[in-house]
């Protein structure tokens, strides 16, 4: 009796590095039942191709031009709800992972992982389960930003983006003095004593504009 052929799984790739796209295509299509149906080099293109091609799964990088991978995930979830989304990123902080999962991603793989892990993640997600790189599991739920209020997060992000107290206050509808108060509160909660260290912390935890 002939063996039943595996159903082909269609895959959309989104990464702004051509060499990464080429490597992923070779890795995935070497499996036989995984077929790359499209490649995008920015988030906006990824959303357009997902809507047009309706792939089974989209493998999306976070750091991309025009539209970052978190925003692209949200849009793909809306425009092609049947497409499952796997984030493949160099960022391994809990903050990025939480953002991705909240946006609708089913899984998150760190770029330093072996190719076999990516294949495992794809197959796990196709089976209807969530997948996180083993290196991430221990850090989940330990997001140091979790203790900040929404307003404190807003202030931290604007400061990390290089905004002055006056500029941040104008954006948030606060006085410069109020922004300074929020900033002092954030630094106290995080145990940070100077502004350069605060900015480095914010960048390390994804609190800057990703586009």
Residues 119, 31 contacting (CB under 8 angstroms) = yes
pLDDT band at residue 211 using 50, 70 and 90 as cut-offs: very low
- Whether residue 106 is found in the same domain as residue 132: yes
Residue 148 CA to residue 189 CA, distance in Å, equals: 8
Q: How many residues does the chain have?
A: 211
pLDDT band at residue 143 using 50, 70 and 90 as cut-offs: low
- Whether residue 41 is found in the same domain as residue 109: yes
For residue 84, what pLDDT is reported?
96
For residue 210, what pLDDT is reported?
46
Name the 3-class secondary structure at 185. Answer: helix
Kindly tell me if the per-residue pLDDT of 21 is higher than 50. Answer: yes
C-alpha distance from residue 64 to each of 87, 104, 148 (Å): 12, 18, 27
Q: Percent of the chain at pLDDT above 70?
A: 91
Kindly tell me if the per-residue pLDDT of 68 is higher than 80. Answer: yes
Considering only CA atoms, which of 174, 120, 172, 183 is closest in space to residue 148? 183
Kindly tell me if the per-residue pLDDT of 109 is higher than 80. Answer: yes
Instruction: Classify the C-alpha dihedral 153-157-158-159 as positive or negative.
Output: positive
Kindly tell me if the per-residue pLDDT of 129 is higher than 60. Answer: yes
Domain around 54: 9-137
- Whether residue 105 is found in the same domain as residue 129: yes
How many CA atoms lie less than 13 Å away from 158 in the CB half-sphere?
Answer: 23
Kindly tell me if the per-residue pLDDT of 63 is higher than 60. Answer: yes
Residue 101 CA to residue 194 CA, distance in Å, equals: 32
Kindly tell me if the per-residue pLDDT of 66 is higher than 70. Answer: yes
- Strands 57-60, 34-40: pairing is unpaired
Q: Which pLDDT tens digit goes with each residue over 81-95? A: 999 999 999 888 777
**Could you tell me the strand order of the sheet in which 57-60 lies?**
34-40, 9-14, 57-60, 84-89, 107-110, 131-132
- Whether residue 182 is found in the same domain as residue 167: yes
pLDDT band at residue 134 using 50, 70 and 90 as cut-offs: confident
For residue 183, what pLDDT is reported?
93
Residues 132, 97 contacting (CB under 8 angstroms) = yes
- Whether residue 86 is found in the same domain as residue 157: no
pTM of the model: 0.67
Domain boundary residue, one of 85, 117, 137: 137
């Amino acid at each position: 009796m002939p063996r039943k052929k595996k159903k082909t799984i269609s895959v959309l790739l989104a990464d702004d590095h051509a060499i990464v796209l080429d490597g992923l295509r070779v890795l995935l299509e070497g499996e036989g039942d995984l077929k790359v149906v499209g490649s995008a080099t920015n988030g906006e293109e990824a959303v357009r191709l997902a809507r047009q091609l309706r792939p089974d799964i989209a493998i999306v990088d976070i750091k991309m031009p025009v539209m970052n991978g978190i925003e692209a995930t949200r849009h793909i979830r809306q425009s092609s709800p049947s497409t499952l989304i796997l984030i493949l990123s160099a960022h391994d902080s809990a903050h990025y992972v939480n953002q991705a999962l909240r946006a609708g991603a089913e899984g998150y793989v760190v770029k330093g992982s072996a190719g076999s892990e990516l294949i495992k993640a794809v197959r796990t997600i196709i089976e209807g389960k969530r997948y996180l790189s083993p290196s991430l599991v221990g850090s989940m739920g330990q997001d140091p930003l979790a203790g900040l209020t929404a307003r404190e997060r807003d202030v931290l992000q604007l400061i990390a983006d290089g905004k002055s107290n006056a500029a941040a206050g104008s954006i948030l509808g606060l006085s410069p003095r109020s922004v300074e108060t929020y900033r002092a509160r954030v630094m106290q909660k995080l145990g940070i004593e100077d502004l350069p260290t605060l900015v480095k912390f914010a960048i390390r935890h994804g609190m800057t504009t990703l586009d």
